[in-house]
Structure 1
Amino acid sequence: MSEAVTPRPKRSRRGLIVLVLIVLVLLALAAVHLLTRKKPSRETPPIVVTVASAVTGSMPVTLSELGTVTPTATVTVLPQLSGYLTEVGYHEGEEVQKGQFLAQIDPRQYQISKQQAQAALAKDRASLAQARADLARYTQLNEHKSIAQQTFEDQQFLVLQDEAAVKADIANIAQFDLDLAYCRITAPVSGKVGLRLVDPGNYVTATSSTGIVVITTIKPTTVQFTVPQDALARIVQRLNTGAKLPVTAYSSDNTREIATGTLYAVSNQMATSTGTVTLRATFANDDEALFPNEFVNVRLLVDTMQNAVLVPTAAVQTGAPGDFVYLVNANNTVAVHKVTIGPGDGKHTVIASGLSAGDVVVTDGTDRLNDGAKIQAAQARPGTAAGSSKAPAAASGAASGAAAPGAAASS
């Protein structure tokens, strides 16, 4: 007896299809929900910066240049005649006064020559006296026509010759007196003597180029420096009004003030190769702080700007727009604001145009800012005009060019 084959029910297949459809619908709903869901908004926190207000005050307009200490006189004492050096009357490195004894050349040869000239003078004076006596007798004889006219005239000429010989002898004696004075060498100027160049016992000559000693005038002294041609007009204008322009000398590392003086001379020509002109300032140098030929940093106070708009130097930035600041808006955002800068003293900078007193600018944290960024002020530090005027004049900033724009802006 054969068994009948029972067919598989279709219900299980139909249920599986429904289950799959349900899963697909759920996945589609989940995908739609994820795609249409709004992302939570995240606000960018404000950038914490330091700000300061622009103020009005005074600002010195200075020029910072490299200068050289140049003595008012440097004299190499040379012998005026030849002879043996018998004595030196100075100590190396000491201060000497004008006319002070320095060295002695053996004078005996010139004393003998003077005695010979004096003897020749006595002889010629005797000859002159005899010629004059003869002329007196010849004059009387000539009046009575008792002597030839030629003889009378020859005697007149002889008197003139003897008078000339006497004058020559007197001049020779004066020359030997001068030689004897030259034997005693004295200081032509006041100053400090250097190291000894010739020792006693050496034979010196008038053609020697080495000299006996070098004297350098240290008190007072001068400092010579150059300024660019663009700054010359304002300097000359100030000098023509009778103003005394202060000059301060600093050490070569620009950290120590050495001396203060005044500008007193401007060269009469411009150096075409560099476009600069040479200036010279005088210093009392009573403490001998300035040494001849020493290199110093010089700061010339040309003028003082009054009622200028000042901001901290850290607020001024340089970039593609040129010189600019980050100006703080009323809604606590910043804007890139282009400005024209003037001179600075290292702590403050003059804003020639672009800002007004009371405007708030960012001084710290500028590296994280951009135009329109939102900020939060950490501390307001309003500038003071007194601080700017008392601040030292641009130690390294002025030397690198902060003074040059000031001269142009203030002119």
Structure 2
Amino acid sequence: MMMPRPLKMAGAALLVTAAAGFGGYIWLGSAKSAASRGEASRTPVPIQAAIPVTAAGVAQGDAPIVVEGLGTVSPLNTATIRTQVQGTLESVDFVEGQEVKRGQVLARIDQRVYEAQVDQADAALARDQASLKNAKANLARTRPLADRGFATQQALDTQNSQVAQGEGTIQLDQAALEAAQTQLSFTTITAPLDGVTGIRRIDPGNIVQPSDPNGLVVLTQLQPIAVIFTLPSTEIPDVQKAIAAGDVAVDAYDASNRRRLDHGSLMLIDNQVDSSTGTVRLKASFPNAARTLWPGAFVNIHLTIAVRKNALTVPLTAVQQGPNGAFVYVIGPDHKVTVHQVVAGQSRAGKVLIEQGLSPNETVVTAGQYRLSAGTTVELVPDSQSRRVQNATTASAGMLP
């Protein structure tokens, strides 16, 4: 059945109108998109803010090469003062903890028994000297008589033997007298060396004898004093080279390894390595003028084995660790950082020795590295201000408690 002509014309007009509306919608969307793109192209791109950091220059100068070891303070000389004779301790003539000199009287023992022995030996010597004198006189009378035939040869020989016997007895008496005098001298106990007395171990009035295990007191030399310390056996060749080149400087630090106690010199290297630990013992001497070193205390020893000339050093905080090893951020003239891989040597007193990777007078970042990458622009600020900025940034990111 065919559609009437007026109805066909109405349908065609409706189709044309719809097409025109759709085309207008597409054109309007395209125009809005173009306008949006034009507005976006006119919006300025934000510039990244400079990162606040602290920095320090690469220093050049002489740097000591130091090896460290743990040691124990040990006196060069110590003596347990004991009596060499038995008797009553009459007096103690020292003050505990007092510095004494060699030969100073420390204690006295009752001398009466030993004085009597000296008197007895002296008397025996006088008696035998008189006998010898008489024997020599008899010999002097007998010899002329024997020469003229008025005395027998036997009588002369007897007189000669009596003189010889008397001379031997005199020697024996003199030795006995010297022994008695020596025993008497032992009743006065003196200091065998300069040192400091310890705690008194016996009081006056007690009987003392040589077999007493504790003695009277322990005398310790404090000035100079020694430190025995250990180093890995691999360090010994370098230490030997330093000894051959001259005196090796040694510094003693406290247990915290912060405060220097004294400066001394190396005395010797032990003649064998401890196979169980792979270490060798060394001994150093210190003047200990201020008595900062005390026997039995543990100290840290810094042994200077060489001085590196024109060495490059940077603060220890400048060196970072990455997948490829140690590196630092170097600040260029445009305030942009570049990454330099470095070979770091020993670190000491907050400085680290740089073997390779840096040049003199370059500037390296010492704080604030965690926000940096190659090409980042930085702003140099004082160290205290940099820490405040870092703490504030970290706290805002939820990284601090």
* TM-score, with structure 1 as normaliser: 0.75
Match of residue 316 from structure 1 = 319
**1:164-313 alignment to 2 at 5 Å?**
164-243=168-247, 245-258=248-261, 260-272=262-274, 273-285=277-289, 287-313=290-316
Q: What residue identity is the alignment partner of 1:350?
A: L
**1:5-404 alignment to 2 at 5 Å?**
45=48, 48=51, 49-243=53-247, 245-258=248-261, 260-272=262-274, 273-285=277-289, 287-327=290-330, 336-369=339-372, 373-379=374-380
- Report the Cα distance in structure 2 between the residues aligned to 1:84 and 1:94, rounded to whole angstroms: 24
> Structure 1 stretch 170-179 or stretch 331-340: which is displaced more?
331-340
- Report the Cα distance in structure 2 between the residues aligned to 1:123 and 1:236, rounded to whole angstroms: 67
- Report the Cα distance in structure 1 between the residues aligned to 2:106 and 2:348, rounded to whole angstroms: 50
Q: Please give the per-residue CA displacement for 1:217-265, whole angstroms capped at 9, x wherever unaligned.
A: 223333333333444444443443444x44333332234343x322041
CA 346–111 in structure 1, closer or farther in 2 if over 3 Å, else same: closer
Q: What residue identity is the alignment partner of 1:87?
A: S
Q: Give 5+ residue unaligned stretches, structure 2.
A: 1-6, 383-401
The answer to whether the Cα contact below 8 Å between 2:107 and 2:189 also exists between their aligned partners in 1 is: yes
- Report the Cα distance in structure 1 between the residues aligned to 2:106 and 2:283, rounded to whole angstroms: 34
Question: What secondary structure does 1:290 align onto?
Answer: coil
- Report the Cα distance in structure 1 between the residues aligned to 2:54 and 2:210, rounded to whole angstroms: 75
Q: Please give the per-residue CA displacement for 1:306-335, whole angstroms capped at 9, x wherever unaligned.
A: 311222221212343232323457887655
Offset, 1:271: 2.6
Q: Which has the higher contact order (CA 8 A, sep 6+)?
A: 1
CA 266–171 in structure 1, closer or farther in 2 if over 3 Å, else same: same
Question: What secondary structure does 2:142 align onto?
Answer: helix
The answer to whether the Cα contact below 8 Å between 2:65 and 2:304 also exists between their aligned partners in 1 is: yes
Offset, 1:50: 4.3
Offset, 1:300: 3.3
The answer to whether the Cα contact below 8 Å between 2:73 and 2:228 also exists between their aligned partners in 1 is: yes
- Report the Cα distance in structure 1 between the residues aligned to 2:303 and 2:172, rounded to whole angstroms: 59
The answer to whether the Cα contact below 8 Å between 1:51 and 1:377 also exists between their aligned partners in 2 is: no
Q: Please give the per-residue CA displacement for 1:150-184, whole angstroms capped at 9, x wherever unaligned.
A: 44334322221211111111111111111111101
Identity of aligned residues (%): 33
Q: CA RMSD in A?
A: 3.8
* TM-score, with structure 2 as normaliser: 0.76
- Report the Cα distance in structure 1 between the residues aligned to 2:192 and 2:171, rounded to whole angstroms: 31
- Report the Cα distance in structure 2 between the residues aligned to 1:92 and 1:215, rounded to whole angstroms: 10
CA 380–228 in structure 1, closer or farther in 2 if over 3 Å, else same: farther
Offset, 1:146: 4.4
Matched positions, count: 365
Question: What secondary structure does 1:375 align onto?
Answer: coil
- Report the Cα distance in structure 2 between the residues aligned to 1:185 and 1:74, rounded to whole angstroms: 16
- Report the Cα distance in structure 2 between the residues aligned to 1:95 and 1:312, rounded to whole angstroms: 46
Match of residue 398 from structure 1 = none
Offset, 1:215: 1.2
Question: What secondary structure does 1:93 align onto?
Answer: coil
Q: Please give the per-residue CA displacement for 1:174-216, whole angstroms capped at 9, x wherever unaligned.
A: 1111111110111111221111111111111122221111111
Offset, 1:149: 3.5
The answer to whether the Cα contact below 8 Å between 1:85 and 1:103 also exists between their aligned partners in 2 is: yes
Q: What residue identity is the alignment partner of 1:184?
A: T
Q: Please give the per-residue CA displacement for 1:363-387, whole angstroms capped at 9, x wherever unaligned.
A: 33333445xx331121189xxxxxx
Q: What residue identity is the alignment partner of 1:361?
A: V
- Report the Cα distance in structure 1 between the residues aligned to 2:241 and 2:219, rounded to whole angstroms: 37
